[in-house]
Amino acid sequence: MTDATIQFRDALQTIYGPLGWLPEPDGAIHRFRVPDDKAGTLNGWYVLYLDGIASGAFGSWKSGGASTWCSREPVDHREAEQVRQRIEQARRQREAEQQVRHLKAANVARRWWRDARRADPDHPYLIAKGVRPHGLRQRGAELLVPLYADGVLANLQRIAPDGGKRFLFGGRIKGTCSPLGRITPDRPLCICEGWATGATLHESGYTVACAMNAGNLKPVALALRADYSFTEIIIAGDDDRLTDGNPGRTAANAAAVAVGGFVTFPEWPVDAPETLTDFNDLAAWSRHAHA
């Protein structure tokens, strides 16, 4: 066991909290469980080199991004170049590993989607949200929401009867979306977060792309803008009024700016509860309030 290995673990622990193991300094990519993640998951990754200046990189597949680490500052250009090459090698390893994960998940997605039946319109989630299935499929008790990238099925979001949501393990999320309706240059395209919000907007006459979460609004908007340069884009954002920094509103505004689009949020009646955040919430509350 070397001092560098312990220092590298300290760097990991600074971000992820206590880890009850020591990193393997063999220059290969290793996966580990991030302490706050679900049992059995291996979303964390690291690579550590000990030859020359000890250096490495680490991150989480789930949260994205990567951190680099070096045991000391390089003393000359040669050492600096070696560290740079190590970091570049780690980046390539990470991307190759991620491509494998994405491909495996896409294969599962295609198989599940092919074998699934049409969604039951009386599925508890659809009833709770007050929307139609719009081409969703069903596997057992779970609804399957298809996520496409470049026109190819890349992942599925699984929705349980109680509304619990999960993506396929290792599947691509960034830049993927679930479309509702056909995108054409002459009609505005709405981009929103959740599928139920998208279904509500689609039932109001809009063509919609559901990005699944706030962090994916901008990647989806940029991808669609590249494919549909003249289509008017409207970001239909969530209004997370009770969350610090209102991430839904912040992300929606940023996505609209990035693609030269418009942005819209639900307009809340005076008596609407502050717990409502999106267009589906507003529609469902309005239905019950005026029933």
Does residue 199 share a domain with residue 78?
Answer: no
Can you read off the two tokens belonging to residue 134?
A: 């719009």
The reported pLDDT for the residue numbered 255 is: 98
Does residue 172 share a domain with residue 70?
Answer: no
Residues 67/165/281/208 CA torsion (nearest 10 deg): 80
Cα-based angle 169, 170, 176 (whole degrees, multiple of 5)? 105
Pick from 17, 100, 8, 96: which is nearest to 58 by CA? 8
Does residue 208 share a domain with residue 121?
Answer: yes
The reported pLDDT for the residue numbered 136 is: 98
The reported pLDDT for the residue numbered 124 is: 97
The DSSP code sequence of 44-84 is EEEEEE-SSS-EEEEEETTT--EEEEESS--SSHHHHHHHH
Residue 259, judged by CB atoms within 10 A of its CB (0-12, 13-18, 19+), counts as buried
Helix crossing, 279-289 with 195-202: angle to 10°? 70
Does residue 84 share a domain with residue 44?
Answer: yes
The reported pLDDT for the residue numbered 42 is: 86
Does residue 125 share a domain with residue 95?
Answer: no
CA distance linking residue 88 with residue 27, whole number of Å: 12
Does residue 162 share a domain with residue 125?
Answer: yes
Pick from 244, 193, 238: which is nearest to 216 by CA? 193
Residue 44 domain boundaries:
3-104
CA 239 from chain centre, in angstroms, equals 19
Does residue 181 share a domain with residue 65?
Answer: no
Whole-model pTM?
0.82
The pLDDT profile of the chain, 291 residues, written as one tens digit per residue, is: 568 899 999 999 999 999 989 999 998 899 999 888 888 888 899 999 988 789 999 998 877 778 899 998 888 888 888 888 988 888 898 889 889 999 999 999 999 999 999 999 999 999 999 999 999 999 999 999 999 999 999 999 999 999 999 999 889 999 999 999 999 888 999 999 999 999 999 999 999 999 999 999 999 999 999 999 999 999 999 999 999 999 999 999 999 999 999 999 999 999 999 999 999 999 999 988 766
| Secondary structure class of 187 (helix, strand, coil) | coil
Return the bridge partners of 180, or none: 208
